[in-house]
Structure 1
Amino acid sequence: MGAFLEKNWFKLAVGLILLAMIASFAYKLWFVQGPEDHHLDPMKEAPAFQLQDLDGNTVSSKDLDGKVRLVYFFYSYCPDVCLPTSFLLSKVQDSLKEKGYLGSKAEIVSITIDPTRDTPQVLKEFGAKFHAEPGGWTFLRGDEATAQKLAEDFGIMVVKDKDGNFSHSNAILIVDPKGTLRTYYDANDPQLDPEFIVKDVMTLSKGK
């Protein structure tokens, strides 16, 4: 038994954390919501940060105040969930742009947890695949420890394996214009509709 735990601790730890997240999502969806929809009720103040954009400029969380933010922790070498989730975000982006919200009232913020491999050039090429709009979809970098700590402060689990890849919670977080974390979306849910996220962005941009 001891040898099994020693050999498989990483998988077990990731599994337990993911189960905890699923339980949290289920609680929020089924028990918190009553006759009225409470899924955008304030959760907590979003963690503050100072990171760099792909041109080396410092971007702080305060710079984004006044806009609704969709925050996503990812890395471009991710072998599974990050690509489809970024594609979903591209659909959110397109809809927000069409409705006149992108950039002025809302912004997508993708933060890499793998800054060593995710150089500015790599992330520029990654963003180009999804037609990321400057001023509407921002990619940010920091050192690895800072990015991982920030992810954890947002409630996102990040575990690095011996091969340099990461297991991480695959969630999109939404922050209101005043900097309050409102909810998170399970990006692994095949039923997650980009327009559901867009509707929430529009609701929060009106100060709800």
Structure 2
Amino acid sequence: MNGPALGRRDALGLAAALGALASRAAAAHDGHRHDGAAAVGGVARLRGPLPDPRVTDAALQRRRLASDVIGGRVVAIDFVLTGCSALCNVVSASMAGAQEILGEKLPREAGLLSIALDPFADTPEELATYGARFGAGPGWSLVNVPAPALDEVLRRFGGPQPGADHAPLVVVLDPQRGEMRRLLGLPAPGQIAGAVTAALEARRKPA
């Protein structure tokens, strides 16, 4: 299921080649997973508390999703199938690049989070192997959400349908301000890191 590590340069080259197609697909996909947020310009405002089920991460640790994994940090979230050999790899390579750019902001101020879309195939062990391919460090959590809770988590986080082919996107979530930014298509590492930085800077501005 897991092939050799995909070079970041190769992945980003694939992102450039597929960017227009994926953006069109993402635009078609957008609009039906916004139950938990109301759009405010380029930022969506969350409605109500985040779901907080117990999840299992790639280190086999059981933690609460909102209160432990996310905590009060600004978190960039992507949605992965460990058996995917195309777009998931490209987005994960961009997450790896964002990890490098964000540097010392991880894991204290900010974090990266990959949510598995198939709770049965994307086991914690598979997530560990997948994360290792992209050099996932301490600030990057990969989690398996139990099937009964997964649909609600994806709906509230603006993600795709569970276990399905999906248009690529990254969601940047600020639980402190109750805001969410959606990066549709194949965002570059700088776009992901820039959205995280913008969310952190927004915290420092007067309300």
Give the alignment's TM-score, normalised by structure 2: 0.71
2:73 to 39, 49, 67: 67
1:176 to 160, 174, 177: 174
CA distance in 2, matches of 1:93, 1:193: 12
Contact 1:53 1:59 in 2 (8 A): no
CA distance in 1, matches of 2:149, 2:50: 12
Q: Which residue of 2 aligns with 1:193?
A: 188
After superposition, the C-alpha distances for 1:49-69 in whole angstroms (9 at most, x for unaligned) are 222223232233122232111
Q: Which residue of 2 aligns with 1:203?
A: 198
Corresponding residue SS for 2:106: coil
Q: How does 1:87-166 map to 2 (within 5 A)?
A: 87-97=93-103, 100-134=104-138, 136-158=139-161, 160=163, 166=164
**Offset at residue 170 of structure 1 (A):** 1.9
Cα distance change on mapping 1:157 and 1:197 into 2, 3 Å: closer
- The Cα RMSD (Å) is 2.8
1:58 to 60, 63, 72: 63
Contact 1:175 1:182 in 2 (8 A): yes
Q: For structure 1, which runs of at least 5 residues remain unmatched after alignment? A: 1-14, 25-31, 33-37, 161-165
From the CA coordinates, give the structure whose radius of gyration is larger: 1
Q: Which residue of 2 aligns with 1:80?
A: 86
Q: Identity of counterpart residues, as a percentage?
A: 22
Q: Which residue of 1 aligns with 2:46?
A: 44
Contact 2:73 2:109 in 1 (8 A): yes
CA distance in 1, matches of 2:153, 2:193: 25
Q: Which residue of 1 aligns with 2:30?
A: 21
CA distance in 1, matches of 2:29, 2:62: 36
Corresponding residue SS for 1:168: coil
